[in-house]
């Protein structure tokens, strides 16, 4: 299992000015830096690749889906923008050596409308059709898409593993699976262990977050249950800590983090990795 | 050992007698009514309660954008105090012992004034509310909501600090296990830390359905409540999984929240009681 840290713990947006994160996470003992592409203009894949190789820290690419990046939006321009953004993340992933593009790519984060069944069906069919397009695009460069269910306050679309599995059945592409996140699962899954077992081989990426999105391990989640479930499905890929700086821009309203959740971002990451290594490795 | 109540919020617009009959049938002691006095006929509430051996434990006040004690517009702040006064009077009329009062409204996720000013307004207006409640022999309780419903007061330590500043014996705090499951690192410890300032409890599982449906362990919570000698009600506040659960209900959805979850929740809690 490789342990990672999300750039969101410290910075928003990640840019050429924040490459110091590579040496920071390396010193803390992380194998992975998960880079969230808030603004592609600030991302230089060539320089990221160099920094990644120089520090010996692998990169995973993750997307941030604001209101204008929505493959299931009502209007075509927004859908196209969403498709182009995901393709851009795939291009970046290919260049920096990330085998995955992760994130809640089916919709815009923070869209929590109550749709009637007809409108819902239309939204799903738009998402399915457009997920096929980006999945094929990703497949050409050997990249997989890790789709993240979010809790009810962040999306009305995919909240649970069961809804995600249904969605994947409709898409029908082998390179589409899950990023599952313990913070969201705490709210939405009746049993986190069961949800992990049902997701099974479709778990491509995993966010290990405390129930309050602070330091994993000091919280009330049942980490032994989580460990057992991951062992049962033979998951040994990535385990990434995600928390947010309170200065986050692209999805600030959606994640609603109003207060610092640890004494510092560095403490959150260094205490978090200690716990995850002890528990999972 | 514990006394159980049920917040009728999830029953939507159904006649209050029908709600009270359902609660009596499944073994509840009390009902928590919605803090909208004009929705009810006081004689009907009283007679439905008397006919079914149910009392009104508490009122769940509704704080929307027009009911905001920390709003920069003094008219909005006064309107909020007027609402609290009216709700307290209704509470006294139906024999409630606790009324939930919050300084900032549901879904307000950005401050409209600086933090120091907001805090001063919160203390001032919560104290006025406590004084009004004291005249009617009522307690008020400060409720915390999770980060998605409010930027102000997400955790019990924040509510306790405010209650201590208000410094009135009839102003305490309450915990809602759904919100706590998101915000607190240890739910039982958070309840213990309230001690004798805990005047009210809302029960829901981790996904806001009836206790026992999802993964929250209520046994350590009940142990903590027993240890602090909690004498108030455990009131179920369960709601469907949506950012706006009330719209789901008014569209006729989530019918499992009626008879099935009303029964399941109390049965589960009584099983948990046997384990403490």
Phi, psi of A159 (to 5 degrees): -100, -25
Q: Work out the angle at residue A239's Cα, subtended by the Cα atoms of residues A236 and A241, and round it to the nearest 5 degrees.
A: 175
pLDDT in the model for residue A28: 98
pLDDT in tens, A238-277: 999 999 877 665 566 667 777 778 888 999 999 999 999 9
Confidence at A79, pLDDT banded by 50, 70, 90? very high
Q: Please, are residues A132 and A171 in contact by the beta-carbon 8 Å criterion?
A: yes
Q: Given B154, B207, B248, which is nearest A190 (Cβ)?
A: B207
The structure's pTM equals: 0.96
- Which H or E run contains A45? helix A45-55
Name the interface residues of A facing B (CB cutoff 8 Å). 112, 114, 152-154, 156, 159, 186-192, 210-212, 214, 218-220, 222, 253, 256-259
Q: What is the CATH number of the domain that holds A269?
A: 3.20.20.150
The average confidence (pLDDT) of chain B is: 96
pLDDT in the model for residue B11: 93
Please name which of B149, B141, B144 lies closest in space to residue B177, comparing C-alpha atoms: B144
Which of A183, A212, A257 to substitute to test the interface with B, most B CBs within 10 Å? Answer: A212
Full residue range of the structural domain in which residue B212 is found: 3-274
Which of A210, A251, A256, A272 to substitute to test the interface with B, most B CBs within 10 Å? Answer: A256
Phi, psi of B173 (to 5 degrees): -125, 165
In chain B, alpha helices (H): 16-25, 42-52, 74-94, 115-135, 156-166, 177-183, 187-194, 219-227, 245-250, 259-274
pLDDT in the model for residue B224: 98
Contacts of A214 in chain B (CB under 8 A): 185
Q: Given A153, A187, A219, which is nearest B206 (Cβ)?
A: A187
pLDDT in the model for residue A249: 58
DSSP for A209-270?
--TTSS-TTSSSS-HHHHHHHHHHTT--SEEEE----TT--TTHHHH---S-SSS-HHHHHH
- What's the structural domain count of chain B? 1
Low-confidence ranges of chain B (pLDDT < 70): none
Whether pLDDT at A42 is above 70: yes
Q: Which two tokens stand for residue B91?
A: 């509470």
Contacts of B215 in chain A (CB under 8 A): 186, 189-192, 222
Contacts of B109 in chain A (CB under 8 A): 253, 256, 258
Q: Does B186 touch chain A (CB under 8 A)?
A: yes
pLDDT in tens, A119-161: 999 999 999 999 999 999 999 999 999 999 999 999 999 999 9
Q: Please, are residues B158 and B109 in contact by the beta-carbon 8 Å criterion?
A: no
Which of B109, B158, B182 to substitute to test the interface with A, most A CBs within 10 Å? Answer: B182
Q: What is the CATH number of the domain that holds B95?
A: 3.20.20.150
- What's the structural domain count of chain A? 1
pLDDT in tens, B3-25: 999 999 999 889 999 999 999 99
Please name which of A62, A66, A63, A33 lies closest in space to residue A48, comparing C-alpha atoms: A33
- Which H or E run contains B236? strand B233-236
Give the separation between CA A206 and CA A102, rounded to whole angstroms: 10
Contacts of A187 in chain B (CB under 8 A): 181-182, 206-207
């Amino acid at each position: 299992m490789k342990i990672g840290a999300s750039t969101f713990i410290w910075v928003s947006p990640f840019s050429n000015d924040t490459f110091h994160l590579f040496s920071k996470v390396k010193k803390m003992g992380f194998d992975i830096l998960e880079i969230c592409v808030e603004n592609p203009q600030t991302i230089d894949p060539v320089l990221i690749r160099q920094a990644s190789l120089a520090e010996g820290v692998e990169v995973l690419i993750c997307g941030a889906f604001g209101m204008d990046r929505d493959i299931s939006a009502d209007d075509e321009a927004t859908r196209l923008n969403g498709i182009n953004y995901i393709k851009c993340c795939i291009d970046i992933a290919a260049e920096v050596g990330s085998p995955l593009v992760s994130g809640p790519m089916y919709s815009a984060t923070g869209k929590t409308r109550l749709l009637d069944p007809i409108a819902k069906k239309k939204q799903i069919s738009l998402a399915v059709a457009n997920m096929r397009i980006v999945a094929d695009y990703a497949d050409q460069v050997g990249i997989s898409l890790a789709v993240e269910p979010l809790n009810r306050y962040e999306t009305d679309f995919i909240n649970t593993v069961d809804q995600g599995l249904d969605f994947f059945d409709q898409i029908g592409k082998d390179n589409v699976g899950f990023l599952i996140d313990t913070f969201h699962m705490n709210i939405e899954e009746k049993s986190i262990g069961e949800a992990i077992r049902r997701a099974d081989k479709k778990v491509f990426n995993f966010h290990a977050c405390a129930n309050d999105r602070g330091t994993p391990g000091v919280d009330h989640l049942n980490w032994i249950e989580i460990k057992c479930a991951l062992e049962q499905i033979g998951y040994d890929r990535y385990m990434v800590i995600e928390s947010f700086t309170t200065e986050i821009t692209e999805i600030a309203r959606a994640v609603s983090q109003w207060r610092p959740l640890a004494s510092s971002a560095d403490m959150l990451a260094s205490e978090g990795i200690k716990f995850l290594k002890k528990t999972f490795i | 050992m514990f006394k159980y109540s049920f917040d009728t919020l999830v029953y939507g617009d159904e006649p209050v007698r029908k709600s009270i009959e359902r609660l009596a049938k499944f073994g509840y002691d009390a009902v928590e009514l919605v803090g909208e006095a004009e929705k009810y006929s006081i004689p009907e509430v009283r007679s439905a309660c008397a006919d079914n051996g149910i009392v009104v434990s508490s009122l769940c006040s509704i704080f929307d954008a027009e009911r905001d004690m920390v709003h920069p517009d003094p008219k909005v702040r006064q309107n909020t105090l007027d609402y609290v006064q009216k709700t307290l009077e209704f509470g006294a009329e139906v024999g409630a012992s606790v009324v939930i009062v919050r300084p900032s409204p549901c879904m307000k996720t950005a401050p409209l004034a600086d933090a120091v000013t907001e805090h001063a307004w919160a203390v001032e207006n919560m104290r006025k509310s406590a004084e009004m409640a004291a005249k009617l022999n009522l307690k008020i309780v400060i409720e915390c909501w999770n980060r998605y419903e409010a930027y102000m007061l997400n955790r019990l330590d924040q509510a306790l600090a405010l209650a201590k500043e208000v410094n009135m014996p009839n102003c305490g705090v309450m915990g809602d296990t759904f919100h706590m499951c998101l915000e607190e690192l240890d739910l039982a410890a958070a309840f213990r830390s309230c001690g004798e300032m805990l005047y009210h409890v809302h029960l829901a599982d981790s996904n806001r359905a009836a206790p026992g449906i999802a993964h929250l362990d209520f046994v350590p919570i009940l142990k903590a409540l027993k240890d602090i000698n909690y004498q108030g009600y455990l009131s179920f506040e369960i709601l469907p999984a949506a950012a706006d659960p009330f719209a789901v209900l008014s569209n006729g959805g989530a019918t499992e929240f009626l008879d099935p979850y009303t029964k399941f929740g109390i049965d589960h809690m009584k099983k948990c009681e046997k384990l403490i």
